[in-house]
Structures are given as C-alpha cells and as structure tokens.
Amino acid sequence: MNSNIPVIVEQKIVETLEKNYMPYAMSVIISRAIPEIDGFKPSHRKLLYTMYKMGLLTGNRTKSANVVGQTMKLNPHGDMAIYETLVRLTRGNNALLHPFVDSKGNFGKQYSRDMRFAAPRYTEVKLDKFCEEIFRDIDKNSVDFVDNYDGTMKEPTLLPTTFPNILVNANQGIAVGMASNICSFNLQEVCEATARYIEDETVDIVQYLKAPDFSNGGQLIYNEKEIREIYETGRGSFKLRAKYRYDKENSCIEIYEIPYTTTAEAIIDATVDLVKSGKIKEIVDVRDETDLNGLKITLDIRKSADPEALMNKLFKLTPLQDSFSCNFNILINGKPRVMGVKEIMGEWTLFRIGCIKRQLQFDINKKSEKLHLLLGLSKILLDIDKAVKIIRDTEQDIDVIPNLMEGFGIDQAQAEFIAEIKLRNLNKEYVLNRVAEVETLKQEIADLKATHSDEGKIKQIIIKQLQEVAKKFGQPRRTEIINEEQIEEITHEHLIEDYNLRLILTEQNYLKKVPLTSLRTNPEQKLKDDDRIIQEIDTHNKADLLLFSDKQTVYKLKIYELADAKASSLGDYLPNILELEPDEKIIHLVATDDYSGWLIFAFENGKVAKVELKSYATKTNRKKLANAYSDLSRPVRMLHITADLELVAISSIDKVLIFDTANINPKTTRTTQGVQVMKGKKGSYLREIKLLEEVAFQDLDYYRTKNIPAVGCYLREEDQIQKQAALLLDLEEPPQDLS
C-alpha cells in the first residue's frame, strides 16, 4: 500500500468549531476587546498597574521603553502593541478627555492619521495625578487579584475607580461576532448624574448628563429623541461637526476642531477631491497648518464665496460632519451586555459598593488585630515586673512565647507582640499610652462595622467621593451642544450651483436652457428650419419648472435637472424627457421658487380662469399632474402673474375689451371654467389676450370696462393702423409670450 496517499479524516463541523474556534472567540471577547465596568480593557489595566507598582504615581517620569518592558511581565504581547496602548492613554495623544498618563515627547495626535508617535526610547511617561482616583485603596483588598500568565506576579482583575470611568473616557473594541463603542461624557456631568441616580433610581438622567463630550471638541447636533434612545438602550447614533472661523480680511476659513471620528487628513483629501472634480468651485487652496498650538485646516476661498453656504456643502460632502455610532457593550462578571446609561450606573454602583465593603472589612480586620494585641498588652500592665521576670528566667528562646502565654493567659499573637517590645519601652508610661488606644479602636471598629452593614451609608460615601472627584478634576465641556433646530438641513439642492439662465420653448417641442453668461457671447439662437420660438423666460437654476401641455396636463421638473445648452444647439426634445403622448405638445412654461401668484387661463369661449399657482405644488415629487386646466374650451393664452393687472381681450370680430384681473375671483380648483369676461356676438370667439404694453391703442379708456362680462368695443380706425403695423412686425419677428 502506498504510504504517500493522504488519509482523509471526517470531522463534524459543530464539534470542530466548539473545540477550536469557540475558545479563541471567547478569549478575544473576555480577555482582549471588550471593556469591563471599571472602564478598562485588560491591556489598559495591566499597563497602568505596572506603572503604579513602578512608583510612577508620585515619582519622576521614566522612559516609555522602561514601562513597556515592565508591562511585558503582565501582558504577553509585543513591545509595539503595548506601546501603542500606552500612547492612547497619554495627555500628548489627546484621545481621552482625562488622560491617565502624563507624557513628555511626541505621542502623535488622535486627530491625525499621518502624525506618527516617536519611538519609546525617546518619550517619557508617568501616571497622571488623575490616577489617584483609579487606584484609591487598591492596597486594602478592594478588588480581586489573580496570577499573571506565568504565575510569578499578582495583578488586579479590576481597578477600584471612584467614578464611572467607563462613561468618562471613550473606548472602542472589536471582538469576534460583537463589538463595543462607548462615547465619552464630561466628568462633572457623569459624577453629578451618578450621584443623583444613587439617590433616586427614577431620576431623568438627561437633566444632568446633557450629551457626550469629546477631547477633540467640535459641535454635537443635539436631538433629544436620539440621546434618550442611546441613554435607554445603549445603542444609537448622533452627529458631530467641526468648528470653524471665517477670516474676512484674508478670505479664508480656519477649521480648528473636528469630529472625534475622523482625521484632518481624511477631511483634506475629501475636500481636495471635491475641488478637483469641480463639485466645489469656491475653494482656491487647502492647507494643513497644524502646529504646536493645535489643529488648523485652512481653506482659501474666493472673495465672492459665501462661507456659511460653502461650509454647509462641506458638512454634507466631507467628514467635517460625521456620525458616532454607540454600542455600550460591557463585560459584567465575564459576560458581555449591551446596557443603557442608567443600567451602567447601576452596575458600577454595585461594583463600587463591593469595593468599599471590602475596603471597610480590611480596615475592620486590621484594627481588630491591633485591638487584640493591645488587649494582650493591657494584661501585663498589672505586673510589668512579672513579664520581665518570665522572660529573664526562661532558659531557651523558644520557650519565651509559651511562658508568656501561660503566665498572663494570652494567645500566641499577643505574646509575640509583647515579646517584641523593646526594653526601653517596658515602662508604665508607654504601656498606659498604648492601652489608652483600646477604647478609640473599639469605637472605630464599631463605626466601621455599622457602615459595612448599612448600604445607605456606603452610598453616601460613594456620593461624597464623586463630588470630590468632580471638584478636583472636573473641566468645562469641550464639545459644544447645538440644537438640531439651529442646523439648516443640507439637502441635495444645497449642493447645486445656482446661476441665472434663459429657457426657450419652441413650437416643435424643443426646450433650451441657456446660461445668461453664454447668451452674452452668442445671442443668436439655432432652430430647426420650420421651427419658431413661442416662449422665453428668464429664471435661475434652482427654480421649479411647470410645463403645460395641450392635453390639460402639467409636467414638473427641477430646472437643474436639465442640461445646460448653447445658443448654437437645438436643446432638449421634450417628448423624450417627459414621455409625452405622440400628438402632445408643451404650450406654456412657468418657473417659480415658492408657487406664489396666480395662473391666468383665457379660453376661446370668452371665459378667464384665475387659479392659485400653489394648487400645482405637491408634497411629494410628482412629475406629472393631470387635469391641469379646464378642457371645455381651447386655451388662447396662459399667464403667470404675481399681482393683479389689466389685460386686453380681442375677439374674432375685432371687439376689444380691457379688464382688470382683480375682478376675477381666484380658485384653488385647477379645472375651474373661470368667469365670463367677453360676451360673444354673431358667433364670435375670444381670439387673443394681450398685456397693455403689447398694444399701442391711443385711447385705452375707450376699451376699458368696470364690470364683466362685457361685449367690448370695435377696434377704432386709428388703432387698426397700429394693428397692421404690429402684424408687419410679427412677420419679421415671432411673438413672445411673456409670463
């Protein structure tokens, strides 16, 4: 049999996962990536405890390399992994609201992707004074200690922080199948909110813990619903944005605080890409001017640019505005739990109560031991000479303790204590002074036991410590809170360039959007041979456009959706853009910003309708509205007016009537028939409607009427001459319908 043939052994996938993968996954979750109730991951805790044991809480700074080397006794990882952990905890890196490590040298910056920290042999560190609060009473058995990885040292499983550090400093971790992302809060606010919670668990936390606070500063866009959701569930997100100032003299914008979730380089790269792609034309130059004074990104802008509008664009298109996604996943007794802020405070309070109880028990034990020894000492007070005689008469050293125990009726510990007293102290005064401490010790032990058994008193101790921490180390908020109502919502429309333009509609359904700057250089419009212009309107790129067809339909477009055209082009063919019916034509355009004013519809039957333009506004982005106007008679003319004016009605038999639109009541119903303005005579019909400035009648009052409907007056002979002249002019230049 060939021994080189591989042997295939079948394995059940579930068993393999349980045996090989699950231990790894659990190790990452429990021992690496997820923080615990003291606010630290194991790597942080091991590093800080090492520095504490090195005497760096009160001593001078030492080289970072020294700290890294010592930490390896507790943390079985490479030196660079440990040093990177140290870097984030330093004051120089600016990642934490309250750094744990006082540093000297270059530790990079949290807000910079490319600013690298110096090697550990160059930098120096010590524990910040703030660390007094995370190590307080750690030597009084306030937390459990376990063996390190090789069993040569002991290390704490948690640190007895006197405040909810888990909420004060930002923490992020990615485990296997789960992650944690905890934002930081202001220390004063956390201490105040926790104290109020301990006093009353039903308290409204939002009143005291206003919102997250970050070392980078910036602005937090406050939405109470979002914040409450985060506080209650431990999940949710909120928006952060940069702070900037405008230097009008130098025409530049200086960005000096950015969101915690991004870097200066990411912002600069995104801005440069926008400028190169032509999406933003107001920026001339982008510079990173970060120095020893702190972060500064400078944008040189054109003098004509609106800095506020420009920043709104950048907030939308770059990481200058970013979201922080919260996931308050914390290890509680070795099990990961996603908790709201109150629940975290509750768990921390239980943890802290346990720490204080253990510390009190430690003090009780120490004082009880001392009391026990002093009680033994008091027994020799009656006969010091007897004690001296017992020791002097004892032949062997090993018999001193048993003889003292027998002579005075004391135990071994008391006998050891008496035997160790120096010869010079075997006087009545010394013994009396020591024995006098007995009553004091008894009272102290009683008080400690009373506190130990009364959770209310322990909570008062916690509250007092919280107040002391807030007073000693509290700082004003760095991240400014701005209400969502103060922020202009940045939509796609804000990013559209606005400029003046002219829309040109032709008889054969072509529409041209020509920027006015282009018209100055080439005013001559190109049309098809058998085509003519039926309407021209001047508007701007961000206006809404209504296109009325001869099928009583109105189509709606944003003008910026149309491509710019040159005078030398034919423009857009509307049947393709609007999907018109085969025989449908667009006969009128209306451009508007706010749908103010009225539409005047004049029909062949002599009726005129006055419809409010807002009747065509819709809450949704509907592109097509049927029943745009009445279909009972053919429309002669449509006009968009914003104020009442006089119009000239001319019938098929040259009857003329000048009337005021104020006499026509406006309607909101789009299909209204309107009111009778011109009465028909001998089968006549309304032929045309003109503006006053489009006619040159010698006596306008002759044709005016105060009341409608009216028949009108025949066109005078002298006005007939004017009419003929106008017709000759029409042959040279097609008429333009003004709106």
550, 584 in Cβ contact below 8 A? Answer: yes
SS3 462: helix
Q: Quick check: helix, strand or coil at residue 14? A: helix
The full 3-state SS of 291-332, as one line of letters, equals ECCECCEEEEECCCCCHHHHHHHHHHHCCCEEEEEEECEEEE
In this prediction, residue 146 has a pLDDT band, given cuts at 50, 70 and 90, of very high
* Element housing 179 (H / E): strand 179-182
The predicted structure's pLDDT at residue 320: 95
Is the pLDDT at 491 greater than 80? The verdict is no
Residues 647 and 603 sit within 8 Å (Cβ to Cβ): no
Q: Which of 156-170, 208-222, 407-421, 445-459 has the lowest mean pLDDT?
A: 407-421
Task: Specify whether the CB–CB gap between 403 and 394 falls below 8 A.
Answer: yes
Phi-psi region of 714 (alpha: psi -120 to 50; beta: other; left: phi over 0): beta
- The strand pairing partners of 252, in sequence order, are 247, 300
DSSP β-bridge partners for residue 646: 660
Q: What is the average pLDDT across 9-23? A: 78
Distances (CA, A) of 206 to 210, 211, 230, 305: 5, 8, 11, 40
Q: What is the pLDDT of residue 176?
A: 81
Is 243 within 8 Å of 257 (Cβ atoms)?
A: yes
Reported as a single tens digit per residue, the pLDDT across 452-478 is 999 999 999 999 999 999 999 999 999
Q: Six-digit token pair at 459? A: 């909570």
* Tokens linked to 686: 């309304």
* Whether the predicted pLDDT of 155 surpasses 90: yes
Quickly state the pLDDT bin for 722 (edges 50, 70, 90).
low
Q: How far apart are CA 589 and CA 537, in angstroms?
A: 8
Per-residue pLDDT tens digits for 627-647: 999 999 999 999 999 999 999
Whether residue 492 has pLDDT greater than 90: no
CB 178 within 8 A of CB 29: yes
What is the spatial distance between Cα 604 and Cα 610, in angstroms, rounded to a whole number?
A: 15
> Phi and psi for 628 in degrees, rounded to 5?
-75, -25
Q: Are 90 and 107 in contact (CB under 8 A)?
A: yes
Q: What pLDDT is stored for residue 29 in this prediction?
A: 74
- Say yes or no to pLDDT of 739 above 50: no
371-412 tens-digit pLDDT: 998 888 788 777 778 888 888 888 888 888 898 888 888 888
Lowest mean pLDDT among 82-91, 189-198, 682-691: 682-691
The answer to pTM > 0.95 is no
pLDDT for 375: 85
**pLDDT top residue among 466 and 526:** 466
Beta bridge partners of 676: 607
Q: Which of 569, 570, 599 is nearest to 587 (CA)?
A: 599
Give the mean model confidence (pLDDT) for residues 302-311. Answer: 89
Report how far residue 578's alpha carbon sits from residue 284's, in angstroms, rounded to the nearest whole number. Answer: 39
347 Cβ contact partners less than 8 Å away, ≥ 6 residues apart: 37, 330, 332, 339
* In contact, 118 and 132? CB cutoff 8 Å: no
Q: Which two tokens stand for residue 317?
A: 């298109």
Give dist(CA 738, CA 638) in Å, integer: 9
Query: Quick one: pLDDT at residue 728?
Result: 44
User: What is residue 391's predicted lDDT score, i.e. its pLDDT?
Assistant: 83
Residue 486 has pLDDT above 90, yes or no: no
| 3-state SS assignment for residue 551 | coil
Which of 149-158, 386-395, 701-710 tops mean pLDDT? 149-158
In the structure, what pLDDT confidence band is assigned to residue 2 with cuts at 50, 70 and 90? low
CA–CA dist 197, 59 (Å, integer): 37
Dihedral angle sign, alpha carbons of residues 361, 362, 363, 368:
positive
DSSP SS3 for 544 = strand
Q: What are phi and psi of 93, to 5 degrees?
A: -80, -25
Radius of gyration, CA atoms only, the chain: 44
Mean per-residue pLDDT over the chain, rounded: 89
**pLDDT tens digits, residue range 332-351?**
998 999 999 999 999 999 99
Provide long-range contacts, Cβ within 8 A and 24+ apart, for 437-446: 437/370, 437/374, 438/371, 438/374, 438/375, 438/378, 441/367, 441/370, 441/371, 441/374, 442/371, 444/367, 445/364, 445/367, 445/368, 445/371
| pLDDT value of position 145 | 95
pLDDT value at 275 more than 50: yes
Lowest mean pLDDT among 14-18, 157-161, 186-190, 608-612: 14-18
Show which residues are catalytic.
122
Per-residue pLDDT tens over the stretch 407-434? 888 888 888 888 887 777 777 777 777 7
Dihedral sign for Cα atoms in the order 8, 14, 19, 22: positive
pLDDT for 725 beyond 60: no
CA 312, chain centre distance (Å): 15
- Residues above pLDDT 90, as percent of the chain: 59
Mind listing the domains of the chain with CATH numbers? 40-160 (3.90.199.10), 243-319 (3.30.1360.40), 346-473 (1.10.268.10), 493-732 (2.120.10.90)
Write down the H helix ranges in 158-296. 165-168, 187-199, 224-233, 264-277
Half-sphere exposure of 44 (CA within 13 A, CB side): 26
pLDDT band per the 50, 70, 90 thresholds, residue 189: very high
Write the pLDDT tens digit of every residue in 30-56.
Answer: 777 899 999 999 999 999 999 999 999
Q: What element of type H or E holds 600? A: strand 598-603
b/e code 362-380 from CB counts within 10 Å (16+ = b): bbbeebeebbbbbebbbbb
Report the C-alpha gap between 213 and 187 in whole angstroms.
Answer: 9
3-state secondary structure of 427: coil
Host H or E run for residue 82: helix 79-88
Instruction: Tell me the average pLDDT across 75-79.
Output: 86
On the question of pLDDT at 538 being above 50, the answer is: yes
Model confidence at 693, pLDDT cuts 50, 70, 90, reads confident
Mapping DSSP to helix (H, G, I), strand (E, B) and coil, where does residue 658 land? strand
- Pair 322, 496: CB distance under 8 Å: no
42 sits in which H/E element:
helix 42-53
pLDDT tens digits for 101-122? 999 999 999 999 889 999 999 9
For residue 467, give the 3-state DSSP assignment: helix
Buried b / exposed e along 59-81 (16+ C-beta atoms within 10 A): eebbebbbbbebbebbbeeeeee
| pLDDT value of residue 13 | 82
Closest CA to 329 of 462, 464, 188, 173: 173
Helix (H), strand (E), coil (C) string for 102-134: EEECCCCCCCCCCCCCCCCCCCEEEECHHHHHH
* Whole-number Å distance between alpha carbons of 168 and 350: 18
Is the distance from CB of 711 to CB of 655 less than 8 angstroms?
yes
The helix or strand, by DSSP H or E, that contains position 336, with its residue range, turns out to be strand 335-338
